[in-house]
Homo-oligomer: A and B are copies of this chain.
Amino acid sequence: MNLEQAIKSTTPINPHTKTVLNIMYSSRIVEEKVAEILKPFGISMQQYNVLRILRGQKGKPANLSTIQERMINKMSNTTRLVDKLIEKKYAERSICESNRRKVEIVITPDGMDLLREIDPLTLSNNNIILKDFSMNELNTLNTLLDKLK
């Protein structure tokens, strides 16, 4: 299905605008699927993103700014996302003793267990979403999207 059909546009759209709309629309399609997978686990895409960043630290605590610069959505309010993870016992926060302005956030064993449970589901979801794409097409798509940054 093309974009015009998806958003039921009657008039033709100029190529640049069409591409911009298409990127946003495609992102929504993908996000809906990811959110659906995460829903039974009671965490949002953003919280999942933060948990994976924390695991990527391999034991080293992360402070808020580190998390923020690695997030997909950099504008979200990281303090409150981390609050939610702490409420659910998936992360712990402490004050950095060498620089008391900073906080140190680590993933808990519960958080690691949760990721171990969810990861195969999101992995196979990604494969399903892109099942019609050849390796070549994936590379092309990635290369083109990289040009935006």
Contacts and interface: CB of A to CB of B under 8 A. Distances in A.
Interface string A14-41: 1111111111111111111010000000
18 contacts: A2-B142, A3-B142, A10-B56, A16-B129, A16-B133, A20-B126, A21-B72, A23-B26, A23-B145, A24-B31, A27-B27, A29-B148, A129-B148, A132-B147, A133-B147, A137-B147, A140-B140, A141-B144
A98 B19 CA distance: 39
A147 to B, nearest CB: 6
Nearest to A75: B32
A72 B137 contact: no
A113 interface: no
Nearest to A127: B16
A91 B137 CA distance: 43
Given A8-B70, A140-B140, A126 B17 contact: yes
B22 A146 contact: yes
Interface string A117-134: 000001100110110110
A141 B28 contact: no
A148 to B, nearest CB: 5
Nearest to A22: B145
A11 interface: yes
Given A9-B56, A27-B27, A149-B1, A19 B138 contact: yes
Given A15-B139, A19-B130, A149 B30 contact: no
